[in-house]
Structure 1
Amino acid sequence: MSVRDGSTGETAPVRVLIVDDDDGDAMLVEELFADSALEVTLDRARSIDEALGRLDVDCVLLDLGLPDATGLSGVERINATGTSAALVVLTGMTSSDLGVEAVAAGAQDYLVKHEVDPDLLARSVRYAVQRRLSDEQARTIYKSSVRARETARLERALLPTPSIVDPRLSVLVGYLPGGDGLLGGDFYDVVERADGTLACIIGDVAGHGPDEAALGATLRTAWRTLVLAEIDPERILPLLERVMLDERSRPETFTTLCQLVISADRSSAELYLAGHHAPILVSEQSRAIEPTHRGRALGIPVDSPWKSQRLELAGSWWLMLYTDGLLEATVRDPGDDQDRPHDADRRDRGGRSRIGIDGLLAAVSAEFRDGTEELVERILRTVHAVHGGRLVDDAAVLILGWPGCDAGHGQRSATLADSEEWS
């Protein structure tokens, strides 16, 4: 019997470390293995101190009477290292209570030397290794479930339910995780103030991981608090930056964001850009709004204020705010060859051309022609399909719609997508 190597898929002998200072007992163990059907490779240590540096094995056979450890102290010292090796106590002590205590202390089995035969020893080691593997898998599953719950809590903090009173306003939101699945710092929010003005934000904390996600959630919460406190829109970004500087885990962390404040009659808006992409005016021929004032990202040490840009919104309209995960999605161009010059600004390191703003506008326009039902989900699906898998970066989308003079209720939808499920 041997164990399967998870990296190669091939079987390998069970690696056993004998920890025993008695040469005769160690030789007896070697002979028992030789007479068994278990294929092993053996190593030996004469003390716990010697064994602690050689625990990269599948199983440890431990004597309880060693020069530097007596009783269960050896079991406790080995387990304290966090080793993944199974532990079988093999001792001359016959007390049954000691066997129960050894297993309770972390050993997988307990054997008495003069009662062991080759089959019993082989079976004990084999079962101990399998039990240890099962325990490791159970711990991994538990950690994954805990991480998933933590991620879900962060997602709820990053992606809240918009606070909207106006029934005619359409609010469509969506989030598609990218990279290695770690939650990033993309966030958005929509709040309707008491006077009817509509405040919207979408932002992206640079980087991925729990620190970035926590900072994104903090900034979103701070922004909503400032909006509800009736702080003037032009004062919100400086205050947000103060929060970010205090809360970021690294001095090089920065945040890009787009803030949009739409008038109560929905005929105009004030646009604030902090190193972020300008919104898209969605239609059958969608176009990106040309920014006249693009401020720096939050956290960049440059003394430069953020200025607003006035947008006129005549009649009915649809606006899309988004993060750059959509632009950084890539697509392989079958027309490219080695002799064709490459546009470095539109290509990643693997030679794939990025979708870019032109590709995104084409996708948004095509989906809008098919109606606004589930518009955000369809846009995310299109970008995901063009990319051919999980995106390089997270992608957040916020689409706002106003019917103009038309009556009726607006649409509300939220898409928290998982690219693995989509694939």
Structure 2
Amino acid sequence: MSVPVPRQRNASVSENSAAAAPAGGAPDAPASSGLSDGDLTLLVIEDDPTGTFTVPELTETAGGTATRVRIRTARNLTEAERLLTDDVHCVLLDLALPTGSGSGSGGQDGDDGLGPLRRVLRIASRQAVLALTTSADAPRAAEAVRLGAQDHLFRDELDGRLLSRTVRYAVERKRADTAQMKLAESRLRAEENSRLERGLLPTPLLEGTDLRFAARYRPGRSRALLGGDFYDTVRTPDGTVHAMIGDVCGHGPDEAALGVELRIAWRALTFAGLCGDELLSTLQRVLEHERESEEIFATLCTVDIAPDGRRAGVCLAGHPAPLLIRGDRATQLLPYQSGSPALGLLPRARWPRRQVELGGAWSLMMYTDGLIEGRTGPGEKERLGQEGLQRMVTRQLSAGLEGEALLESAVARVRKLNGGELTDDMAVLLLSRG
């Protein structure tokens, strides 16, 4: 059935699918087409092989730019699928097309006469789709839009300018719908990633102890919840509280995943009874098997606090030493054990466990180097360092801060001194007694 569109002067370029299409591909655009990037290609699916379908060139469009519509015609859905290439912007389907006209549906699309439309919507998922029918068939036209067509046109009301305008609007609506769908998918992926990353962050297991726990964690990656830094705290059945904090070199998702693997391995090994050098040696084997390259290493600090809370064993693997805060608010950097390399650097390294007296009332601050590598002031080149952190915490203790408030103030102060957000991952935890 041909579609009568009034011919006007300066008609747009038209293609006849039967004559212009080379074997196995879409028709080549004539050299004289003069189509610009703003012009559109319309695939018309109608069943009259002798019919012609032309669209007059618009002389006035949005922004004052003329838009022309190039036409491809197909007699059935099989031919339409061959002509439906990426440069097609819109498909106009005559709803009078016979249901069995190359649809391959075998009657599976129902008997409402919209089987060809359903087929087109499946194969033209990236293109706008318009339905063509008569005004006497308005209910089916409305159903076509409900099924997914961008709009419908009535054959007995159609003229060239209306068709050109409808094609342009349909293409814009399809683009807007596609952008909105991609945005929604992006938001869903972000929400799923956030839930996953939150699930990978540790839940301290300290039931049965009088120790207080606080932590702050900030990944360096933009829009991420998880970085290469990791920490954990658990209490084993004998009453010992074990804490650790570590840092995988690098800031990407691979480093974050490796940090999670090391944390989970540490928790499992700790509950299995490993401690000190034996535990770190096993973690090094885990790192060597799981890392992407031999260049990857991780620093680590582990602390095991005796059931009475007065003593602790400390192991350092290339990691900054914890800050011990006594009950009288005096601060002390625990001695750094020399000759204790990061995990993954030396194949037969050893990590001696050092005994530390804590006393009756104390706080132990464990942190990654992201907390101490910020600047000492906006525009300054000097790093804060461990001694700078010790001085800063001493001042905050003098102001009466402790626990959560102390950590919050410390992180805020470090950011302020740095003149903005820290670029490295950062983790800091505080265990307190008394």
Q: Secondary structure at the match of 1:161?
A: coil
Matches within 5 A, 1:181-330: 181-182=223-224, 183-250=226-293, 252-282=295-325, 286-300=331-345, 302-330=347-375
Asked if 1:377 is matched to 2:408, the reply is yes
Could you give the per-residue CA deviations for residues 328-386 of structure 1, whole angstroms, max 9, x where no partner exists?
3346546x6xxxxxxxxxx4xxxxx5433343333322222232142212212222333
Whole-angstrom distance in 1 between the partners of 2:154 and 2:293: 56
Structure 1 unaligned residues grouped into runs of 5+? 1-12, 337-346, 348-352, 404-423
**Cα offset for 1:274?**
1.9
TM-score, normalization by structure 2: 0.68
| Aligned CA distance change for structure 1 residues 297 and 61 (closer, same or farther; 3 Å) | same
Q: Is the 8 A contact 2:262 2:286 kept in 1?
A: yes
| Aligned CA distance change for structure 1 residues 75 and 137 (closer, same or farther; 3 Å) | closer
Asked if 1:179 is matched to 2:221, the reply is yes
| AA matched with 2:202 | L
Whole-angstrom distance in 2 between the partners of 1:106 and 1:248: 48
Q: Is the 8 A contact 2:276 2:352 kept in 1?
A: no
Whole-angstrom distance in 2 between the partners of 1:275 and 1:307: 12
Could you give the per-residue CA deviations for residues 200-243 of structure 1, whole angstroms, max 9, x where no partner exists?
11112333344433332232222112222222433212222333
Q: Secondary structure at the match of 1:207?
A: coil
Whole-angstrom distance in 1 between the partners of 2:431 and 2:361: 11
Q: Is the 8 A contact 1:174 1:397 kept in 2?
A: yes
Per the alignment, residue 418 of structure 2 pairs with 387
Whole-angstrom distance in 2 between the partners of 1:186 and 1:122: 56
Q: Is the 8 A contact 2:378 2:418 kept in 1?
A: no
Residue number among 384, 392, 397 corresponding to 1:363 in the alignment: 392
Q: Is the 8 A contact 1:261 1:270 kept in 2?
A: yes
| AA matched with 2:422 | L
Structure number with greater Rg is 2
**Cα offset for 1:295?**
2.5
| Aligned CA distance change for structure 1 residues 75 and 301 (closer, same or farther; 3 Å) | farther
Asked if 1:34 is matched to 2:79, the reply is no
| Aligned CA distance change for structure 1 residues 130 and 78 (closer, same or farther; 3 Å) | closer
* Structure holding more strand per residue: 1
| Aligned CA distance change for structure 1 residues 127 and 78 (closer, same or farther; 3 Å) | closer
| Aligned CA distance change for structure 1 residues 301 and 97 (closer, same or farther; 3 Å) | farther
Whole-angstrom distance in 2 between the partners of 1:382 and 1:224: 32
- Percentage of identical aligned residues: 32
TM-score, normalization by structure 1: 0.69
Q: Secondary structure at the match of 1:184?
A: coil
| AA matched with 1:263 | A
Aligned-residue RMSD, C-alpha:
3.9
Q: Secondary structure at the match of 1:88?
A: strand
| Aligned CA distance change for structure 1 residues 162 and 395 (closer, same or farther; 3 Å) | farther
Whole-angstrom distance in 2 between the partners of 1:295 and 1:102: 72
Bigger mean CA offset, 86-95 vs 353-362: 86-95
Q: Secondary structure at the match of 1:321?
A: strand
Question: Relative contact order, CA 8 A, sep 6+: which one is greater?
Answer: 1
Whole-angstrom distance in 2 between the partners of 1:379 and 1:248: 32
